[in-house]
Chain A
Amino acid sequence: MTKTTLAVTTPWHPTVQRPFAGSFVQTTTAAVTGLFERIDLYGTEDWTGPADPVAARAVRKAYAAMTAGPAKRVQFRPRWTDEGYWATDIPVPVTPRRDYADWAQSHESALRAVLPNGFTADVVHGHVGIYGGWLALRFARPDARIVVTEHASFLGKILRQPRSRAMYAQVIERADAFIAVSQVLRDQLAAEFPAHAAKLHVAPNAVDIASMPVRPEPVKALNRWLYVGNMAVTKGVPEVVEAFAIAAEDEPELRLTLLGAGNQVEPLRARVRELGLQDRVVFHDAVPPQRVFEFMHAHDLLVHASKSETFGMTTVEAVGSGMPVLVTRCGGPQETLAGLDGVAGRLIDVSDDPTVIVDGYRALAEQIDRLDAHRARADLLARYGSAAVAARLAGIYGVEDSTGKAKEEA
């Protein structure tokens, strides 16, 4: 461990309201605790308020009076986390129907009340360019090293807003290293900011694969399908249901569980009724991350037909737990499963046609004896495990890793 200190700023981190938000930021921060003398994480959480300008102003004024100035009443105290770092939760009143630039400035105002003099840390790591990256830019010491990780699926939307794009450009200009969690995201950033291509890295968030429980028995038949995630059209859940209906026609033993919440729950319930599959399709509300593995162990195949993913955490969790996957080439998964197609499961094309899923399922069912769940897990551990990611981040942070070997790569 060095004498160096790290400040992390993120809009996503588990809170009482959102206990599962930003668990990847939590895991990544926990992975690097051994690299620093002290880590302070500042979680700035959106609190959506009134849209009316006058009412929104009243909220902002009252918030400012309570959190800053001579009569301030609210103290923000860091709490020690089980993961081994200090965390300060800061609510940020935000006004709906504004742009990302406005919201980023709301985060800045809220953090200013907590840290009027900015970060003292040697290294500042901001998660999400327009939020944590902007705060890193505004609060870091002039000589601090700034590292930004981009994992926002809404990056395109940010960059289409002129003010937000201008702020983003400042962040990428100031950052010493800019990390994308996937090659797809890195390519998107390089196309938008070609002058800064040299400082763009691809480094995934850490995934705590080592502590993922492995299923006791390997899968021998793909009868019990599972979908985990948002019940949204963009996730391809309707296609999964249609594909299941086709496959289930010939295979009476097939079952499907849809695990998650979202606006497609009710339409899909109706569709399942229409298909007469009520007794073979189960809907289940979202569960905490640790309970997802119970579902994975009780099912045989993770089916993910998403149209776009920057990383695809669920796929990694499934493979980490020894579960075969049938997943679309939607960005992140073809990177996370690079070299593992036919080992961890099967990759299929993104399509609105459910028969693509059915064909993939049938092909996978034929090759199930050739899958190697142990090799797939070991491969992911070597790439995304906490130790691997910590070693990679040590180089990007410019600090010594746990072996004491400097790995400056930026």
Chain B
Amino acid sequence: MTVLFVAIGTSRARSVCDTSAYLLERGVDVGLVTVEPGPWEQAGLDPRVRLYPLGEGEQRHPFARLGRLLRRVHKALDTKFYSKVYRLLRPYVMWRVARRSALRQIEWNGVQQLVIGDSHAIPIGWHLARRHPDLPVGFELDRAPFAAAESAAAPAVSVPAPRAAGSAPTTEPSGIDVIDA
């Protein structure tokens, strides 16, 4: 059983990371279709989340190759013309890349929900929804199917628990909070 997220950028990383943690605590596999894995590591995504990056495929796409070639020949041509055009074509390129590479690695029969994680991912989310007409799709996780495991697991939102008595914050430098630590 898998919940699959699609999030192109990390503007809503907190939601994706916290919801992934919620699912992993309940033994549910989590996948994320995104562009680059790096920013997600920085955002604190659990390393158990399986990533399906589109960035490499995008770089191999003929449009991206053309862009690199233009940049080498004439930088201004790239910045003034090509990059503007490519921004418009990028959703189409990303969907082509997703369809030809990342999405082929996913075992779709096991996907229980598709969660669209940011605004940029909405077009790909819609393509996926059309391809998989029986797959539940949402902008947040529908937690109802996982409610049974609710009481046994940690809270849904990873709000740090209050510190235990005797470990209240102090004004003394204490490791992670210290300047120049």
The answer on a CB contact under 8 Å between A66 and B122 is yes
Q: Is A199 an interface residue (CB 8 A)?
A: no
Is A406 at the interface (CB under 8 A from chain B)?
no
| Nearest CB of A to B13, in Å | 9
- A62–B180 CB distance below 8 A: no
Q: Which residue of B lies closest to A54 (CB)?
A: B88
Q: Does B140 count as interface, using CB distance less than 8 angstroms?
A: yes
**Interface flags, B1-44, vs A, CB<8A=1, else 0:** 00000000001101100110000000000000000000000000
A58 to B91, CA, bound (A): 8
- Among A226-273, those with CB < 8 Å from B are 255-257, 269, 272-273
Structural contact, B91 and A298, CB atoms closer than 8 A: no
- Of residues A66, A281, A287, A299, which shows the largest number of chain B Cβ atoms within 10 Å of its Cβ? A66
**Are B179 and A281 in contact, with the CB atoms below 8 A?**
yes
Given contacts A19-B159, A49-B120, A73-B129, contact A298 B168 (CB under 8 A): yes
* CB closest chain-A residue, reference B178: A282
Instruction: Name which of B74-82, B103-111, B169-177 contacts chain A.
Output: B169-177
- Given known pairs A55-B91, A58-B91, A291-B162, the reply for A224 and B171 (CB within 8 Å) is yes
Contact B179 A47 (CB under 8 A): no
Query: Nearest residue in B to A18 (C-beta to C-beta)?
Result: B14
Q: Name which residue of chain B comes closest to A47, CB basis.
A: B119
Residues of A within 8 A of B130 (CB): 71
Among B90, B122, B126, B140, contact of A49 (Cβ-Cβ < 8 Å): B122
Q: Which residues of A contact B163 (CB under 8 A)?
A: 294
A47 to B169, CA, bound (A): 34
Q: Which of B11, B169, B172, B177 has the most A CB atoms < 10 Å from its CB?
A: B169
CA distance A47 to B11 in the complex (A): 8
Interface presence of B60 (CB below 8 A): no
A256 near B171 with CB under 8 A, answer yes
- Is there an interface contact between A16 and B18, defined as CB atoms closer than 8 Å? yes
Is A59 a contact of B177 with CB atoms below 8 Å?
A: no
* Inter-subunit contact B162/A255 (CB<8 Å): no
Q: Which of A72-129 contact B (CB under 8 A)?
A: 73-75, 77, 89, 91, 93-94
Interface size of B by CB at 8 A reads 41
**B12 contact from A17, A63, A75, Cβ within 8 A:** A17
Q: A303 CB to closest chain B CB, in angstroms? A: 13
Closest residue of A by beta carbon distance from B87:
A52
CA distance A19 to B108 in the complex (A): 31
Q: Is the CB of B149 closer than 8 A to any CB of chain A?
A: no
Inter-chain contacts of B18 with A (CB < 8 A): 16
Query: Would you list which residues of chain B between 138 and 161 have a CB under 8 Å from chain A?
Result: 138-140, 142, 156-157, 159-160
Does B119 contact A74, Cβ atoms closer than 8 Å? no
Known A-B contacts A16-B18, A290-B162, A291-B160; the reply to A279 vs B177 at CB < 8 A is no
Question: A93: which of B122, B137, B172 is its contact (CB, 8 Å)?
Answer: B122
A47 to B177, CA, bound (A): 31
Judge whether B123 and A47 touch: CB under 8 Å: no
B156 contacts A278, CB within 8 Å? no
Q: What residues of chain B lie closer than 8 Å to A77, measured between beta carbons? A: 142
Given contacts A16-B156, A269-B179, A278-B179, contact A294 B169 (CB under 8 A): yes
7 residue pairs from A and B, CB less than 8 Å apart: A47-B139, A62-B123, A66-B122, A74-B137, A255-B171, A255-B172, A294-B168
- A interface residue numbers (CB < 8 A to B): 15-19, 47-50, 52, 54-55, 58-59, 62-63, 65-66, 71, 73-75, 77, 89, 91, 93-94, 224, 255-257, 269, 272-273, 278-279, 281-284, 287-288, 290-291, 294-295, 297-299
